[in-house]
Amino acid sequence: MRLHDLIRRWAVSYTEHGKYSPVGVWFHWIMAGLVLFQLGSGWMMSRYPVGASKLATYELHSELGLTILFFAILRFAWRLFVPDPVNDADAPGWQSTAAHITQYLFYGLFALLPLSGWAMWSAIQPVQPLRLAGLVAIPPMPFHTLSPAWQYQVLDWAESLHVLGVIGLALLVPLHVIAALKHHFWDRDDTVRGILPEIRDDETAPDHTQYTPRVG
């Protein structure tokens, strides 16, 4: 059996029980942490005075944005390879429709925000390459050939799109959290359990009572 078949069979062993595979779980929580950090660092950066510290924070913010874009592409590819599990949130109705629309909006923002931030960085002269995850050099967009007036125009357009994206993300994140809490505490379904990291029982424990998320 080929390697990709083995990987898919392993992942499906989770999704067929209503749980995300460990790969899907880690994609979710790593990206969630990065998004929250980006929202916080972006707000702090806006309060910094113009200077070296602001530029360094802006560079880190832009690099992490590209990292989120990279993870979003990998996450989408993984989703095509291993479809998400079907759980209680997928029951027919407006809540399922809203959940899918929210998911697509998140993916759209995970593209819009990094790309607009990359464009803003590329319109600043002299511009330096960004580094994906701090390792791989990503060259700037080719705005250095434009006139200063057009560079300023690109910066203005990109900044406007970025602000709209930030507003959208700042609205979607709490809505997503509220919906998850509703599913878990009000509906008492399996939606949240499906995305939690699995904690396996320790059979060597004296009372063998450690918690393992229920599947199925």
DSSP state of 190: S
Which residues pair with residue 138 across a beta bridge?
Answer: 130
Alpha-carbon gap, residue 202 to 200, rounded angstroms: 6
Residue 14 maps to a domain: yes
For residue 131, the domain's CATH number is 1.20.950.20
Residue 205 maps to a domain: no
Q: Return the structure tokens found at 100.
A: 């899918």
Residue 189 maps to a domain: yes
Residue 212 maps to a domain: no
* CA-wise closest residue to 24 among 34, 11, 37: 11
Per-residue pLDDT tens digits for 119-138: 998 888 667 888 887 788 88
Radius of gyration of the chain (CA): 21
Residue 215 maps to a domain: no
- Boundaries of domain holding 89: 3-195
Residue 132, classed as helix, strand or coil, is: strand
Residue 207 maps to a domain: no
For the residues 91-110, what does the mean pLDDT come to? 84
pLDDT at 172 over 50: yes
Residue 156 maps to a domain: yes
Domain tally for the chain?
1
Residue 216 maps to a domain: no
Alpha-carbon gap, residue 189 to 96, rounded angstroms: 13
